[in-house]
C-alpha cells in the first residue's frame, strides 16, 4: 500500500543563502503549495492544484493558510539541563557549579536519564524542533538514553558523552583514558545507527586537562567523519580562566588546536569574544560557530557578532543552548538573535533568521543534504506554523503586506501555540 501523503498550505523553501543573496531572492514561497512525502522523504514540492491532480489517490492533509517549512535544527543543547532551565542569577562558572553540575550528576541513574531524554525530545518536538546536537553527561547511560529516545521517535540527532577530568565535582570527572574508552565504545555503538550521529564532546578546556584534550583529539583523528562539539570564548572571565590554565597557549582556540581539536567538523558554541587570529583560523578550516542568543543574554555573556562573522564567511548555526538558554523554542531563539543583532546595529531579515534555524544550522552540522529545507530528496522533517496563533499576533498579521511582515510577529511573539504539526521522517509526532 502506498504510504504517500500530501501536505497543503503556504510553503517556504530556500534556493540560496539569504545572507549572500537578497533575502527574497533566496526563498521559494508558494501561497498555495504542497509537499509530497513518501517513505520518510520529501518526494516533490509544488503548486497545490498541480500536485493534487498529479497524485489523485494520495492522502491529503490541508493546513489552509498555515506555513509549512523544514523542521528546526538546534545546533547546541544540553538535554541533561532540561529540568533546571531558567535557574536564577549566576554567571557561567558559578552557574555551572550551583545548578548544572548537581543536576548532571543525577543522570548517572539510567531511569532518570531516560525520563529527562524523553521529556526533552517531546518538549522540543512540540515546538517544531526536529534535529538537535546535544551534550550528554560523563555517564555513558546518559548517551544511551538520548539515542534510545531519538531512535524510538525515528529522529535525527547528534549527541556525545561530555568529557571532564578536572574542575568539576568528583561524581562528574572521568580520566583521559576512560573518556577515550567510553567515547569510542559509544561511538561504535551508536554512530550511523538509524538517524543517529555521535559527536566527540570535550565540554571545554577548563574542565579537560591537556592529556584529555589530546585523547579526544586522537579519537577524532581516528573518526574524522564524526562531529566534535565544544565551547569557545563564551565569557570574558572564562577566557581569563583559560589563560591561567594554559599559559603557553596563544589564545583560547589554541588550547583546542594544539591537541587536534580544530577542524572542519568542529562545532564551537558561543564564540563571542574571538581574537582576529581565532577568527582567521576558524574560517581557514571552515569550522562551524554556533550562536546561542538566549543563553548569551540570560547568563550575561555578551553580544555575538553575527554580521561581522557572516561577512568573514563563517559557517554559522543557531541554538537554544538549553539549560543556559532560557527557552526550548527556536522561535524565541530567532527573536533573541534579532534583538542581539539590533544592539550591534544590524536588522536581520526574517528570511535570514528562519534560514539560520533550518538550513544554516543543518549546514553547520554538515547535514544540509539531509535536513533543513523543503526540497525533493530531503528527509521529511517538517513543521507547520499557524501565523495567527494568538490575538496579538493575529492583529499584526492583518496589517501585513508580505509573507515576511506576516511571519515576523510569529518569530518575535510566537510560542508552542504557533506549532500546528511536527513531522519526523514523515510521521506526525504526538507526544
pLDDT digits (tens, 9 = 90+) for 175-189: 999 999 999 999 999
Range of weakest confidence among 78-87, 218-227, 377-386: 78-87
Share of the chain above pLDDT 70, in %: 99
Domain 72-364: CATH superfamily is: Metal-dependent hydrolases (3.20.20.140)
Distance CA 16, CA 81 (A): 35
Percent of the chain past pLDDT 90, that is, above it, reads: 90
Higher pLDDT, 2 or 296: 296
Q: Is 74 helix (H, G, I), strand (E, B) or coil?
A: strand
- Summarised one tens digit per residue, pLDDT across range 140-177 is 999 999 999 999 999 999 999 999 999 999 999 999 99
Residues of the chain with CATH 2.30.40.10: 5-70+373-428
**Whether the Cβ atoms of residue 403 and residue 23 lie closer than 8 Å to each other:** no
pLDDT over threshold 80, residue 1: no
| Parts of the chain belonging to CATH 3.20.20.140 | 72-364
Q: What is the mean pLDDT of residues 293-320?
A: 96
The pLDDT value given to residue 238: 94
For residue 76, the model assigns a pLDDT of 98
- Strands (DSSP E) contained in 203-265 are 227-232
- In CATH, which of 2.40.50.1020, 1.20.1560.10, 2.30.40.10, 1.10.10.10 is domain 5-70+373-428? 2.30.40.10
* pLDDT at position 111 over 70: yes
C-alpha to C-alpha distance for 385 and 420, rounded to whole angstroms: 5
pTM: 0.97
Q: Between the CA of residue 155 and those of 80, 94, 113, 126, 379, what are the distances in Å?
A: 18, 34, 18, 13, 10
The whole-angstrom separation of Cα 407 and Cα 271 is: 29
In this prediction, residue 302 carries a pLDDT of 95
pLDDT value, residue 246: 98
Amino acid at each position: 500500500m502506498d504510504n504517500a501523503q500530501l501536505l497543503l498550505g503556504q510553503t517556504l523553501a530556500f534556493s540560496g543563502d539569504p545572507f549572500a543573496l537578497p533575502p527574497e531572492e533566496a526563498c521559494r514561497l508558494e501561497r498555495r503549495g504542497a509537499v509530497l512525502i513518501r517513505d520518510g522523504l520529501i518526494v516533490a514540492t509544488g503548486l497545490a492544484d498541480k500536485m493534487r491532480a498529479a497524485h489523485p489517490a494520495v492522502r491529503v492533509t490541508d493546513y489552509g493558510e498555515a506555513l509549512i517549512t523544514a523542521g528546526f535544527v538546534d545546533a547546541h543543547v544540553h538535554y541533561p539541563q532540561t529540568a533546571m532551565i531558567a535557574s536564577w542569577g549566576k554567571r557561567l562558572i558559578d552557574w555551572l557549579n550551583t545548578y548544572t553540575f548537581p543536576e548532571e550528576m543525577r543522570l548517572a541513574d539510567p531511569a532518570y536519564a531516560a525520563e529527562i531524554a524523553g521529556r526533552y525530545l517531546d518538549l522540543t518536538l512540540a515546538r517544531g524542533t526536529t534535529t538537535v546536537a546535544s551534550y550528554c553527561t560523563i555517564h555513558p547511560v546518559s548517551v544511551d538514553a538520548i539515542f534510545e529516545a531519538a531512535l524510538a521517535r525515528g529522529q535525527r540527532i547528534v549527541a556525545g558523552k561530555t568529557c571532564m577530568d578536572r574542575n568539576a565535582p568528583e561524581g562528574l570527572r572521568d580520566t583521559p583514558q576512560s573518556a577515550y574508552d567510553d567515547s569510542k565504545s559509544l561511538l561504535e555503538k551508536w554512530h550511523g545507527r538509524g538517524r543517529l550521529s555521535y559527536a566527540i564532546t570535550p565540554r571545554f578546556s577548563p574542565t579537560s586537562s591537556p592529556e584529555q584534550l589530546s585523547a579526544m583529539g586522537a579519537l577524532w583523528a581516528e573518526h574524522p567523519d564524526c562531529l566534535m562539539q565544544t565551547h569557545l570564548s563564551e565569557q570574558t572571565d572564562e577566557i581569563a580562566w583559560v589563560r591561567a590554565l594554559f599559559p603557553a597557549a596563544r589564545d583560547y582556540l589554541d588550547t583546542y588546536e594544539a591537541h587536534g581539536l580544530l577542524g572542519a567538523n568542529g562545532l564551537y558554541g558561543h564564540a563571542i569574544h574571538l581574537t582576529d587570529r581565532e577568527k582567521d583560523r576558524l574560517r581557514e578550516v571552515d569550522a562551524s560557530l554556533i550562536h546561542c542568543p538566549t543563553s548569551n543574554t540570560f547568563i550575561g555573556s555578551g553580544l555575538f557578532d553575527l554580521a561581522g562573522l557572516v561577512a568573514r564567511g563563517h559557517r554559522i548555526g543557531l541554538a537554544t543552548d538549553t539549560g543556559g538558554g532560557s527557552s526550548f523554542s527556536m522561535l524565541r531563539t530567532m527573536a533573541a538573535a534579532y534583538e542581539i543583532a539590533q544592539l550591534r546595529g544590524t536588522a536581520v531579515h526574517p528570511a535570514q533568521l528562519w534560514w539560520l534555524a533550518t538550513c544554516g544550522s543543518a549546514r553547520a552540522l554538515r547535514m544540509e543534504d539531509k535536513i533543513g529545507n523543503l526540497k525533493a530528496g530531503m528527509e521529511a522533517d517538517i513543521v507547520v506554523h499557524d501565523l495567527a496563533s494568538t490575538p496579538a499576533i493575529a492583529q499584526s498579521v492583518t496589517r501585513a503586506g508580505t509573507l515576511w511582515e506576516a511571519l515576523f510577529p510569529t518569530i518575535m511573539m510566537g510560542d508552542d501555540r504557533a506549532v500546528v504539526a511536527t513531522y519526523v521522517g514523515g510521521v506526525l509526532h504526538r507526544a
